[in-house]
Structure 1
Amino acid sequence: MMASEMDKTRALLQSCSTESIISSLGLGIFCMVADKLLQFSIIHQSEWLRSLSDNAIHGVIGMWSWAIVIGIKKKADVGEIILAGFLASVIDIDHFFLAKSLSLKAALSLPRRPFLHCSTVIPIAALTLKFIMHIFKLKDSWHFLPWMLFVSWTSHHIRDGIRHGLWICPFGKTSPLPFWLYVIMTSTLPHMCSFVMYLTGTRQMMPSKPGIRIDV
């Protein structure tokens, strides 16, 4: 059932609540601090430690971003947030597929960027997932998954953009993103996602905490 105009307005306002904005500021601060910590010599000089730390930061940003979108309303939401972190981190597995090796050195020495790092893949994957869910009638139990995939993967791509730019195939790639732009884009991504959900007229279930839950 479509939400009423009043429900939509309340959902939009709550997605920009004081608590939600503070959470976004905290996410921006985390992005700044975490990436500065990666420059410490003890981390930078070890391929394994640097790679694990980098991937863990992707995961935390994915979890934090999704928590802002939905708010933590009950224990089930913790599982959603962990899944968002997993999705934000698992993209890097394509490095090993392209390298055709489990060697970390080979995965870090690729001649080109692997396919999941093409930003065009994100909307295609989200829409494909939504279509599959519709075909297999998973709409009610996994309604959040396409939106989660979009937020998690986009946060990963934005962060990678500070080093490599955004790869928008088949049009090429952008210049590396300025660090300040990366922080702003990452911290505002959850609100932008919530706003798009509002504009698409999806059903919005209002929680008691900041954030919105969406049925698609």
Structure 2
Amino acid sequence: MNLQVATTLPHRPFLHCTTVFSAIAVLLALLSIKMHSIPYLKLSLIITTAIWTHHWRDGYRRGIWICPIGSTPPYWYFLYLVGLVALPLSLHFVLRFTSELINKAKNQGLQPVYFI
């Protein structure tokens, strides 16, 4: 596809809807807690980091697209840089906190919930 065509689309592609990937990441995180699975938790945080950094970059130029609501206005470049630093740091703390919850559940003998 020609780069000029891709940069002048009249609307955003469907996968640039931040709500879709955020919902998938939250569902994966909840599933990881129910199944006591730290690898699923890490997968949800990897998806969150990859998608949100991309959407955060797009938002600096065009705003963040939240599907049913609309788009935010574009924001300052400085805010973009702060968000790029804050996102991995905050997800690190989420991983640490949630991993402790999963390990406590395993140590208390709680059985994981499997949906199969």
TM-score by length of 2: 0.68
CA distance in 2, matches of 1:131, 1:181: 29
Give the superposition deviation at 1:130. 5.3
Decide which of 105, 116, 121 is 2:15's aligned counterpart: 116
- Alpha-carbon distance, 1:143 to partner: 4.8
Q: Write out per-residue CA displacement over residues 153-182 of structure 1, whole angstroms, 9 at most, x where no aligned residue.
A: 111111111100111121111111111111
Q: Distance in 1 between matches of 2:85 and 2:39?
A: 28
Q: Which runs of 5+ in 2 are unaligned?
A: 104-116
Match of 2:56 in 1: 158
Partners of 2:62 and 2:47 lie apart in 1 by 21
Q: Give, in angstroms, the shift of residue 199 of structure 1.
A: 4.2
- CA shift for structure 1 position 190: 0.9
Q: Map 1:157-196; keep pairs closer than 5 Å.
A: 157-196=55-94
Q: Distance in 2 between matches of 1:140 and 1:193?
A: 14
Alignment length (residue pairs): 100
Distance 1:116 1:176 in 2: 19
Distance 1:150 1:176 in 2: 21
Identity of aligned residues (%): 36
Which SS does the other structure have where 1:176 is aligned? coil
Q: Kindly tell me: are residues 199 and 143 of structure 1, through their superposed partners in 2, closer, same or farther at Cα, counting changes over 3 Å?
A: closer
Q: 1:109 to 1:153 in 2, by over 3 A?
A: same
* 1:144 partner SS: helix
Task: Kindly indicate whether structure 1 or structure 2 has the higher relative contact order, using CA contacts under 8 Å at least 6 residues apart.
Answer: 1
User: RMSD value over aligned CA atoms?
Assistant: 2.8
* Structure 1 portions without partners, runs of 5+: 1-101, 205-216
Query: How many Å separate the matches in 2 of 1:133 and 1:197?
Result: 11
Structure 2 CA distance for partners of 1:141 and 1:154, relative to 1, 3 Å = closer
Partner of 2:109 in structure 1? none
TM-score (normalizing by structure 1): 0.39
The 3 A distance-change label for structure 1 pair 202 and 115 is: farther
